[in-house]
Structure 1
Amino acid sequence: MKILKKATFLLFATVLLASSCTSPTQDIKIVIDTNVIKYSSLIHITDAADPSVTPAGIVLTITGQDADKIYEISGKKNFTVSGGIITIGVAPSTTPTVDKPVKINVNITAPGYTPVTQAIEFNPGVMQQVNNINLLKIGSPPVVTPPVVTPPTPVVLTPITFNFIGICVNKSNFELRPSIYIFYRETGSATAFQYLGYMDKGQITASLVMGKKYDFEMTYASVNYIVTETIAQTAYTEKVTLGDICNSF
């Protein structure tokens, strides 16, 4: 498995050092910024007939003229889809240009579904993009677009700022500031997670309803993380306990 050199990540690590008389490592705080892959694409895969359903056994492969330049957002050549979600991106050593955009094909298969191939192109200046891919069950008729329904009166939305910080239980001096896509849904609802936005270095501002409780989902290194919060103020710092990915730093 190819992995971007760890040194690439360390170039983006901020080390805060406070002097100490007892130990040279006391009070050291290491903050890892995951915003190494600048050009990224969120791929969200759902059942065409029921978007709340994630097809089981999804296999995703990358082909095309620039396939060798594409990595999973954590820097690995492991394109495992988790919960129908994966984020891929262009290697830091490659920058798309007007004359030479980065072009790939994303091939998706799942048992019982018709295979899908979707072309994705990374162009200069477009740092993030979202690709929703719907899989059609084999033998199913084409999905018919439902009629337009007048939506109910909208509720009052309030801008809420979040600061998500990844932590490791065995590394008290470590923080991960993720630059990834995030989904959300109202806690306890039967609805599927919906795309909320892209958070830069762990920070994102979203319009939500005061008093409601939400689940927030993010996927990094093929692992889904969920944080739940009841909205009662306009700013939150959310700590996300990481798992095996801690061994990579």
Structure 2
Amino acid sequence: MTVTDPTTPTAAAIRTWSEPEHLAPRGTLILVVGRGETPEVYQRFGSRIAADAYRVIAVDDDPSAPATAAALLADHTLPGPRVLVGVDAGALTAVELVRSGAAADAVVLAGLPVVPGPLGQAWGGSWETEIAARTACPNHRGVLARSARRGLGGSADTLVLPIAPVTPGVLGVPTLAVHGAADPISPAADALPVLAGLGAEVTVVTDGLHDVLNDVQHRSVAATVILFLERLRSGSTVVRPA
């Protein structure tokens, strides 16, 4: 069900969760992971979405991730609709890719960082405190401890990314945002106006922390994503804030 296949020396590594063999694919999600994450972090999310016949391809946290994601979105051999999913700093990448003309049919943003400055300062910059800020799920904390990168020499330097404010303006494609109500890394009070300005349909997850796709409420969040994908496929109106 899963394969890892960096196709060229300059491509970021990817991991794919395929639809069940007896079902026709209903679309493809290209997922750009967050800071310090690897595609393996998304085993639970990828396998759950794939069970509903949507193929999921996670792109590693790598300088070539934007180019790899753009190439996958433009690959017409992949089942459509092709939906770009961005998590944490990967959500910033997703916004920029769409604005640069990447061929995404829709976008899902999870934990979009919106407060200018270096991510990581607010909780002390250590990996242990960041894990606590990312998720309350004991299983996912274990996954992050095993499958995410702490940074060179055990520091959190590679997990600190200076960010600029997200430029306002509707993205122009159907957009779903899922955001934790208790996210300490990208507080909901700061994020919600930005997400509305992007034209996103916003789902706020009660008690959710930053890694909202993999936090305690991961089942209901996955269901929210599937409902969005099904409405996209059917051509139903995707509700957006005015």
TM range (shorter): under 0.3
**Which of structures 1 and 2 has the bigger CA Rg?**
1
Q: TM-score, normalised by structure 2?
A: 0.25
Task: Looking at secondary structure, tell me which structure has more strand per residue.
Answer: 1
- Looking at secondary structure, tell me which structure has more helix per residue: 2
TM-score, normalised with respect to structure 1:
0.25
